[in-house]
Structure 1
Amino acid sequence: MSTPSPSPKIGTPSRAWRSRADAWEFLGYALRQLASARHQESGLLSQIDRTFALLAAVEPYWAEPGVNAVAQLRQLIDDGEPQAALQLLGGLSHLPLASAGETAAVPRAELPDEEVVDQSEPAERPRFEVLVVDTIEPEEAEALKNTMAAQRRPSDAFTYTVNVVPSYEDALVAIMLNPDIQSVVLRPGFSLRSSHLLGSDLQRFLVRHSSADLQDSRPIERILALAEAVSGLRPELDVYLVAGVSIESLAGSLTRKFRRIFRRQDHLDLHLSLLSGVAERYETPFFTALQDYSRRPASVFHALPISRGASVGTSPWIRDMADFYGTNLLLAETSATSGGLDSLLDPHGSIKRAQELAARAFGAQRTYFVTNGTSTANKIVHQSLLAPGDVVLVDRNCHKSHHYAFVLAGARVSYLDAYPLDKYAFYGAVPLASLKRRLLEYRRAGRLHEVKMVTLTNCTFDGVVYDVERVMEECLAIKPDLVFLWDEAWFAFARSHPVYRRRTGMAAAAALEASFGDPAYAARYAEQAAALHDPATGEPIDDEAWLNTRLIPDPAKARLRVYATQSTHKTLTSLRQGSMIHVYDQDFAGSNRESFREAYMTHTSTSPNYQILASLDIGRRQVELEGFGLVQRQSDLAVSVAQAVARHPLLKKYFRVLTSRDLIGPRYRETGSSMPLRDGLAELEDAWQRDEFVIDPSRLTLDISKTGIDGDTFRHSYLMDDHGIQVNKTSRNTVLFMTNIGTSRSSVAYLIEVLVKLAEGFENPHPSARDRTLPASSDAPRPTPPLPDFSTFAARFRTDDSCEDGDIRAAYFESYKPDSTVYLSAPEVAAAVAGGQEVVSAGFVTPYPPGFPILVPGQVITRHTLEFMAALDTREIHGFDHERGYRVFAEPASSSVLELVAVAS
């Protein structure tokens, strides 16, 4: 074999899983080729050598197959025994094959006979890895692994393997590379620096998460710093300390940092604790209770004939329902709240425990399950917090459920405009300057006390993510008792990733709470307050100074009242309509507990779907045990699609994946990378720490303008109908692709294959498919007019002219009055508006998807709105009657409007 290649530097963690899996799979292929060949090919040997070099670099951070397996395989190749190497490889367990995780998507009948699992065999116990951090000799490390392996018992619910790394840096690299790690054991004596070659991305990332002053520190200070760093990156991991000194003196001061502290000889207790820690995250109280219920014999003498399958099993007409869904679904259907099943409306048992575990998983103070979607979750939160007359500041482009919630609550709505992306026909997000300016307008008008709440969508449908902590911090500096609702319907997965996490509502609330308790923060506030207030009167100085300052609130007055609604079913594992409400509200008990309960009762069915509840419970388990690895993989796969489009000569001729530079203006970005995750984890973290807005890397907005096909046609005719590729959203000239935790490498490959086929069809159209070629230039979609800002509420629905809020409830219910509304066609409305008449919408007009209203009740219709509506290619527009047109208020301008229409016609 050739001289061993030098070990490559370990690159970005987000791609390590793919590189490692590819290396092991290629090694299997190469050894089979080598074992069957009569002579050794130098090219193949060179590739094998490079593969071993890669594995030698990354495998030290995995327990299995591990560095020993790599060394043994390499030695056999060097000894000219490829057949023995192939046999050894075949005997290794837990090989990370490139197709790992995808066979589960293949129907069992399609698997080769030898891969069909004998159903009589017990399922393999879940397996995890334990990371031990200590500088010890290889022989001692092996002895430790063997000692821990000797503690295993057949009755253990899980099994694990131990890996030992010697340094602070190696520990952080390991937990970022290896999602199989569930527990970390720190032992005094580890060094600070890694001896491995780390790429520049990893080096920069480690600098951010390493304390610079640890070089001369005591061992206990290093241990505490590492424990803090591990918990900051992956808070779901259990961290243990094995101390070589009197542990009694450490226990009291270190209990909050570690799950438990052990002496070096406490191997059995450590073993049991490792299993117990994972068992706590594995626990699914309600899912387990539902399984237990379904196994019990029962006679049903209450509602729900389908319970236990009674109305299905004996029917000759609908027995195919049982064939399709399976008997477990029917056995688990019940309206009972006894037998461990608990009540969603008054939880005291398994549902209560399941919600407590969800709160822990998502960093909330309390969590509530919702079985009819985040639309209902939003209505619950708003109704619990808003009373008639309260003002809520909200992005006009938030989901329609918020707007209907304002109607129900009677709040006065002050709509904020997101920055427009006119070229691509959708909106970005609301600039912080706009939020601050609106709050200062209310302060100047003497109405700031009326403002109760800020509601924003994070991240937006198109992937624009706010700096949540900064938004709340600066808004609280103007009004310290503001309540925040972050609609994270499409962002539930973010908790699982250390970079994305900081931009979630719950993580930002916790970070601010920690800051408010820091005396240095109070000192900073005092210094800033002195500069922003007139020393003579104590009144705030001019608004421009407040707008141009990065504000911090008074930590003694600011209250953290933060709510987040998440569609678990959209980005995590849950049945359709499974959602959660997360609460981080310091005043919940005194100010919102009772009203929240009443709102929850108002909107929650007394017959909740138990299957949805169980799926929320088990989806939470997945978040805590494998969320990190799944989220890391989904984002990496999205980047691989973007790179394929950018590099393929035909794809880049017709398609382009929009980047941060396309979707976020330079005024909102301090960093310069157009696609930060592609450039490395450190680059991503830099952007997510500094930029006002960032783009969720798991979303891909594909610019299709060069194809000449509009987005809706491309979505339905080219993707869904022809190739079975489903997408949620398009604009006039873009298509949005979203990867998720279920996205596989094969599905990504298929998407790229389909795009190549489409590009080939555009390049060389087949004579029989002339109707599906690129449109002629005269038939290409017209440029979309500028996106319309929110115009204004009609005067009769406004409080005054000083602030832009309106009584949406009054407008909504005014339309209930007989003869209060009329329908006008689009040309009729256009004629009236052109004639200077005020035409006021009597209802919501909402293109779907994405479900953001173009018009709301009481809003004045403008020419810009009409032009945008005329150019829309969305097939489904709620609230707009294609035959009769717009429903508008007949008064006060109905006669003049109708006269103008008559003249125009």
Structure 2
Amino acid sequence: MKTIVMLNDVTDVFKADVFENLAEELTEAGFDLIFPKNADDLLDLLRKNARIGGVIFDWDHHNLVLSRAISKINGKLPVFTFINDNTILDFAFSDLAINIHFHNYILNHVTDIVDRIELKIEEYIHDLLPTFTKALFDYVHKEKYTFCTPGHMGGAAFEQSPVGSLFYDFYGENAMRSDVSISVEELGSLLDHSGPHKEAEEFIEEVFNADRSFIVTNGTSTANKIVGMYACPAGSTILVDRNCHKSITHLMMMTNLVPIYLCPTRNAYGILGGIPKHEFTKEHIQKLVDITPKATWPVHAVITNSTYDGIFYNTDYIKKILPVNSIHFDSAWVPYTNFHPIYDGKSGMGGERIEGKVIYETQSTHKLLAAFSQSSMIHVKGKINERTFNEGYMMHTTTSPLYSIVASCETAAAMMQGESGKNLMQQAIDRAINFRKEIIRLKSESPDWFFDIWQPSNINEAECWPLNPNSQWHGFPKPDEDHLYLDPIKVTVLMPGMDAQGKLDKTGIPGLVVARFLDERGIIIEKTGPYTLLFLFSMGIDETRALTLLRSLMDFKRIYDANLTIRDAMPDLYAVNPEFYVDMRIQDLAQGIHQLMIKYDLPNLMYEAFDHLPEMEMTPHEAYQEEIKGNVTECLLSEMVDKVSANMILPYPPGVPLIMPGEKVTKDNLPVLRFLEMLCERGTHYPGFETDIHGVYKNADGQYVVRVLI
């Protein structure tokens, strides 16, 4: 951060001499100087360059107005301003937090001023780092000799081998030396939350508005199990969102719980719309308890917020109305809700404590904040027994954590602190809305077809758009008022071929075809639906990436309209099976898969597949115990009726568990089997378009089979 922005727009000759001498000495001291044309140019530089270490300007020209604008971008950035002896300072108490330093226009003081500037910038860099990250960096810089784990000894072992040297060179020295042992006492302990680890968690609590926060180094799958192991005693009943992540199912396989499922709605696109309000009521829950064997009043509830596709709940309503004292919001996909006002009332940690209730929120720090993979956090609002909770925490946490993950989790929180976090989120929201508007503009200008966006017609304001019961765009039948909202940074692009009400056109372009095309051009889709593509406009998505995606969608239209061969349009797909794709053109491929959708009447089939849950013959835990005892056998998928599944069966998309371990498929669930068969048939007919279905696999004869209990 040896870069300084110097706004040298003074006209006075003496001031100009001071600025010229200052610039020369700063350059000699090793600083890089940038000279913006005006204040607007300066502010734009600050928004786009995070490595700037300081700003210099003339107070007489710009005074407090510019200082406040700089502070809104980066409140910690040192600002150096020059004043005359008779300059009047008009500061309010709120301005005292601005990191501003005043100097007089005295030519022979320039050397001293440079020393002070260098000192303040060093302090700025040092103070930027949060506690644990700073301690880790300081430890690495000490270059201590260790005789403990890890065995690569700061990378030294790698350099003793040719292949190890390649590995070392790829990741670099600091990545190796920061991989340290849990035996390093000065870094504290992640397991007993001491030292810098404890300070990091206390810092995260403040930033995320929690009473208690825990850093988890092996993902939100583990965070979810930690919460469940504490909140759900064996034998108890819990409320589970049927749209739960499979880690919740794995929790139920680990400890013997009786699940009662709350069922979300869905639209024709396969997008989950959330659990209706009435399912959160005491009356509805009592009915579920009455019809579920072994069920008692639930002790805990797990709600997915937001959904994969970016649908938020009005969490304030759920916290108050849900008659359960322990509520867990699985917010893996939205770790940013505390940092922009459009998410107020839509998160677990938002607002104040609810008397008599404990609210948990698990968040994947790595998914949409700036952290390494596997970084996750557990936030708690309410009273817990920390010693007991920590037993579950230690049960699932490694005794050899990668400290780089811990540091990245803490750094992600530091990035989101104060105005900086709000600015980062505002930029992400603005880029997402601009992209949405560009798609709509291009569609309006296209004489025949172009892609569309799943959103309301008016998106001028930055907000989470409500799914109103009288609106048609979302495709959900009469959603509850003031209940569900669409996150603007989760952008769902619509393909031609089906409308929001599920009407299939004669021709269409399934999302799989476009996703495959984009993948061959280096663009990876977060989620592909039958006629949708989901793109996440996180903070890391800059204008270049957004424009590249837009350009690639336009390229697809051009290539599709020209009806190029698969060999020319998608050479990687052609290489999967050249004999099959030898004469096929891109429109033939799209229409062939579209005809499969028509054959199976996909929209209605998806509705029917989720309308009736299979019967729970035994809990997921009991089913798993039968499996590990070997009481399972293979069964053709088509012959699964009246059999009990040993495993969870979960296709992507839409990513919702169709069948849980211990559930029996009955004749009422035939649409479930037809839906799975359609997904399998697509891969059979079109090589390269196989569907990943957890719990369904091919046997030696190429038939799709499942595991059922004997």
The alignment's TM-score, normalised by the length of structure 1, stands at 0.59
Q: Deviations over 1:658-709 (max 9, x none)?
A: 11589xxx9952686969xxxxxxxxxxxxx972101000011111134734
Residue 168 of structure 2 aligns with which residue?
322
**Are positions 1:887 and 2:680 aligned together?**
no
Give the 3 Å change call, closer, same or farther, for CA 319–103 of structure 1 in structure 2: farther
Cα 1:652–1:127 change in 2 (3 A) is farther
**Closer, same or farther: CA 382–355 of 1 in aligned 2, 3 Å:** same
Counterpart CA distance in 1 for 2:344 and 2:633 is 49
Aligned to 1:502, what secondary structure does the other structure show?
coil
Give the C-alpha shift of residue 94 in structure 1: 7.3
Alignment partner, residue 487 of structure 1: 330
Q: Is the 8 A contact 1:369 1:616 kept in 2?
A: yes
Among candidates 822, 842, 867, match of residue 633 of structure 2: 822
Q: Cα deviation per residue 1:492-547 (whole Å; 9 max; x = unaligned)?
A: 01211112143110014x1x64xxxxxxxxxxxxxxxxxxxxxxxxxxxxxxxxxx
Instruction: Give the structure 1 partner of residue 409 of structure 2.
Output: 616
User: Which structure is larger by alpha-carbon Rg, 1 or 2?
Assistant: 1
Task: Say whether 1:839 aligns with 2:643.
Answer: yes
> What is the RMSD computed on CA atoms of the aligned residues?
4.1
* Corresponding residue SS for 2:449: helix
Q: How big is each residue's C-alpha offset from its partner over 1:634-676, in whole Å with a ceiling of 9 and x where there is no partner?
A: 12211122211111133981311111589xxx9952686969x
Change (3 A) 1:889 1:756: closer
Query: Structure 1's 751 and 124: CA in aligned 2 closer, same or farther, altered over 3 A?
Result: closer
1:385 to 220, 223, 231: 231
Aligned to 1:774, the other structure's residue is in SS state: helix
Q: Which amino acid aligns with 1:409?
A: T
Distance 1:754 1:99 in 2: 29
Give the CA deviation at 1:288: 0.9
Gaps of 5+ in 2: 11-33, 78-90, 104-119, 459-464, 475-479, 498-506, 570-582, 683-689
Alpha-carbon contact 2:260-2:289 (below 8 Å) kept: no
Question: Within 2, Cα distance between the matches of 1:859 and 1:128?
Answer: 68
Relative to structure 1, the CA distance from residue 317 to residue 758 in structure 2 (aligned partners, 3 Å threshold; closer, same or farther) is closer
* Identical counterparts, % of pairs: 26
Please report how far the alpha carbon of residue 850 of structure 1 lies from its aligned counterpart in structure 2 after TM superposition. 6.3
**Counterparts in 2 of 1:735 and 1:594: CA distance versus 1, 3 Å:** same
2: CA distance, partners of 1:887 / 1:345? 39
Structure 1 residues 686-701: aligned runs within 5 Å: 691-701=482-492
* Other-structure match for 2:84: none
Tell whether the 8 Å contact from 2:47 to 2:73 is kept in structure 1 after alignment: no
Contact 2:365 2:377 in 1 (8 A): yes
In 2, Cα distance between the equivalents of 1:384 and 1:708? 49
Work out which of the residue numbers 580, 597, 621 in structure 2 matches 1:809.
Answer: 621
Residue 347 of structure 1: how far off its partner (Å): 2.2
Structure 2 Cα separation of the partners of residues 647 and 704 of structure 1: 16
Instruction: Write the mapping of 1:356-395 to structure 2, written as runs, cut at 5 A.
Output: 356-395=202-241
Tell me the TM-score normalised to structure 2 length: 0.74
Q: Equivalent residue for 1:678?
A: none
Q: Residue 309 of structure 2 is aligned with which of 456, 462, 470?
A: 462
Residue 888 of structure 1, CA deviation: 4.6
Query: 1:367 and 1:599, CA in 2 relative to 1: closer, same or farther beyond 3 A?
Result: same
Structure 2 residue aligned with 1:567: 364
Alpha-carbon spacing, 1:412–1:259, altered in 2? closer, same or farther (3 Å): farther
Tell me, what secondary structure is at the counterpart of 1:383?
helix
- TM-aligned CA deviation for residue 449 of structure 1: 6.2
Please identify which structure carries the higher helix content.
Answer: 1
The 1:315/1:777 distance shift into structure 2, 3 A limit, reads closer
Give the conservation status (yes or no) of the 8 Å contact 1:424–1:732. yes
Does the alignment pair 1:669 with 2:669? no
Matched residue SS, 1:506: coil
What is the 5 A alignment of 1:345-356?
345-356=191-202
Q: Take 1:732 and 1:633, find their aligned partners in 2: how far apart are those partners?
A: 30
SS in 1 for 2:697: coil
Aligned-residue offset at 1:450: 2.6
Q: Please give the residue correspondences for 1:471-550 in structure 2 after superposition, counting only pairs within 5 Å.
A: 471-475=318-322, 479=323, 481-508=324-351, 510=352, 513=354
**Are the counterparts in 1 of residues 6 and 56 from structure 2 also a CA contact under 8 Å?**
no
Q: Distance in 2 between matches of 1:128 and 1:503?
A: 41
Partner of 1:95: 41
Distance in 1 separating the partners of 2:123 and 2:162: 49
1:99–1:566 CA distance, 2 compared to 1 (3 A): same
What stretches of structure 1 of length at least 5 have no aligned partner?
1-62, 70-87, 105-122, 130-140, 149-159, 165-173, 184-240, 244-257, 268-273, 514-557, 676-688, 798-806, 892-905
* In structure 1, distance between residues paired with 2:409 and 2:321: 34
Residue 427 of structure 1 aligns with which residue? 272
Does structure 1 residue 125 correspond to structure 2 residue 53? yes
Map 1:844-883; keep pairs closer than 5 Å.
Answer: 844-848=648-652, 851-861=655-665, 862-872=669-679, 875-883=691-699
Query: Which of the numbers 474, 484, 495 marks the counterpart of 1:704?
Result: 495
Q: 1:242 to 1:643 in 2, by over 3 A?
A: closer
Contact 1:821 1:887 in 2 (8 A): no
What pairs up with 1:270-349 in 2 under 5 angstroms? 282-349=128-195
Question: Equivalent of 1:713, from 493, 510, 513?
Answer: 513
In the alignment, is the contact (CA less than 8 A) between 2:239 and 2:301 conserved in 1?
yes
Matched length: 590
Q: Return closer, same or farther for 1:260/1:179 CA change in 2, 3 Å cut-off.
A: closer
Distance 2:40 2:143 in 1: 40
Shift of 1:327: 0.7
Classify 1:795/1:381 alpha carbon distance in 2 versus 1 (closer, same or farther; 3 Å). Answer: closer
Shift in alpha-carbon separation, 1:181–1:850, aligned structure 2, 3 A: farther
Give the conservation status (yes or no) of the 8 Å contact 2:698–2:704. yes
Take 1:640 and 1:856, find their aligned partners in 2: how far apart are those partners? 41
